[in-house]
Amino acid sequence: MMPGPMNELVEDLPSILASSVVSSSLEANHLQIEVRKDALAGMAAHMIGHCHAWLISEHAADLRERDGTFHIYVIFALPKGDGIITVMSKVDGSDPSYRSLTPDIYAANWFEREMMEGFGLLPSGHPDLRPLRLYDSWPSGVYPMRKDFDPSVPVPRVPTGYEFRHVEGEGIFEIPVGPVHAGVIEPGHFRFSVAGEPVINLEVRMGYVHKGIEKLSESLPYPRGVMLSERISGDNGFTHSLAYCQAIESIAGADVPERARYLRTAFSEMERIYNHMGDIGGIALDTAFGVGAQMAYVLRERMLSLNERITGSRFLRSVNCIGGVRKDIDMSGKRSISTELIGLKLDFDDLVGMMTEMPSLLDRVETTGMLSDDAAKNLNVVGPIARASGIDRDTRRDHPYAAYKDLSFSVPLYREGDVYARMMVKIEEVLESISLIEQAMDRMPEGQLCAKVVDVQAGRIGMSLTETHRGEAMHWVMSGEGRPWRHKVRDPSFLNWPAIEVAVMGNIVPDFPVINKSFNLSYSGNDL
Amino acid sequence: MSKDEKDVETLGKELRAKTMKVLGRSMAIREVDAGSCNACEVEVNSLTSSIYDIERFGLHIVASPRHADALLVTGPVTRNMEVPLLKTYEAAPSPRIVIAMGACAISGGIFKDCYACNEGVSEFLPVDVLIPGCPPRPQAIIQGIMVALEKLESRKRGASCQK
Distance CA A53, CA A75 (A): 10
What DSSP designation does A392 have? -
The interface predicted TM-score (ipTM) is 0.91
The per-residue pLDDT for A237 is 92
What is the dihedral angle through the alpha carbons of A77, A493, A515, A210, rounded to the nearest 10 degrees?
-160
Asked whether residue B163 carries a pLDDT value surpassing 60, the answer given is no
**Residue A390 pLDDT > 90:** yes
CB pairs under 8 A between A and B: 141
pLDDT tens digits for A149-199?
A: 988 888 889 888 888 888 989 999 999 998 998 888 899 999 999 998 999
pLDDT for residue A81 is more than 80? no
Is any Cβ of chain B less than 8 angstroms from the Cβ of A209?
yes
Q: Please write the tens of the pLDDT for every residue from A196-235.
A: 899 999 999 999 999 999 999 999 999 999 999 999 999 9
Rounded to two decimals, the pTM is: 0.94
Over A83-116, what HEC string results? CEEEEEEEEECCCCEEECCCCCCHHHHHHHHHHH
Q: Is B52 helix (H, G, I), strand (E, B) or coil?
A: coil
Q: Report yes or no on B163 lying in a domain.
A: no
Q: CB-CB: which of B38, B46, B134 is closest to A186? A: B38
Per-residue pLDDT band for A61 (boundaries 50, 70, 90) equals very high
Q: Which of B74, B80, B123, B29 is nearest to A234 (CA)?
A: B74
The chain B residue lying nearest A182, using CA atoms, is B63
* Domain with B49 in it: 22-153
Contact B110 A133 (CB under 8 A): no
d(CA B18, CA B7): 17
Across B3-160, the runs of DSSP E, i.e. the strands, are 27-33, 59-61, 70-74, 97-101, 129-131
For residue B123, tell me if it sits in a domain. Answer: yes
Q: Which of B49, B75, B79 sits opposite A294 (nearest CB)?
A: B49
Question: Residue B11: inside a domain, yes or no?
Answer: no
* pLDDT at res. A102: 92
- Give a yes or no: residue B4 inside a domain: no
Residue (of A211, A245, A215) closest to A230 by Cα position: A245
More confident call, A35 vs A82: A35
Domain for residue B86, yes or no? Answer: yes
pLDDT of residue A438 exceeding 90: yes
DSSP per-residue codes, A9-60: HHHTS-HHHHTTEEEEEEETTEEEEEE-GGGHHHHHHHHHHTT-PEEEEEEE
Q: Which CATH number does the domain housing residue B77 bear?
A: 3.40.50.12280
**H or E stretch at A133:** none
Nearest Cα of chain B lies from the Cα of A524 at a distance, in angstroms, of 5
What is the predicted pLDDT for the residue at A5?
A: 62
- B78 has pLDDT over 60: yes
Which candidate from A152, A210, A297 shows the least CB-CB separation from B116?
A210
DSSP-assigned beta bridge partners for residue A191: A176, A203
- Asked if residue B9 belongs to a domain, the reply is no
Asked if residue B6 is part of any domain, the answer here is no
Q: To the nearest 10°, the Cα dihedral for B120, B125, B130, B134? A: -30
Tell whether A304 lies on the interface with B, counting CB pairs under 8 A: yes
Nearest residue to A75 via CA among A488, A499, A523: A488
Work out whether the CA dihedral B7, B10, B16, B18 comes out positive or negative.
negative
| Partner B contacted by A93 (CB < 8 A) | no
Using an 8 Å Cβ cutoff, are B34 and B61 in contact?
no
Domains present along chain A, CATH in parentheses: 6-124 (3.30.460.80), 172-205 (no CATH), 213-527 (1.10.645.10)
Contacts of residue A180 in chain B, CB cutoff 8 Å?
32-33, 65, 84, 87-88
Give the residue-averaged pLDDT of A502-527: 92
Q: How far apart are CA A21 and CA A13, in angstroms?
A: 10
pLDDT band at residue A271 under the 50/70/90 scheme: very high
Q: Is the pLDDT of residue A28 over 50?
A: yes
Length of chain B: 163
Q: How many domains are contained in chain B?
A: 1
The phi and psi torsions of A212 (rounded to 5 degrees) equal: 105, 40
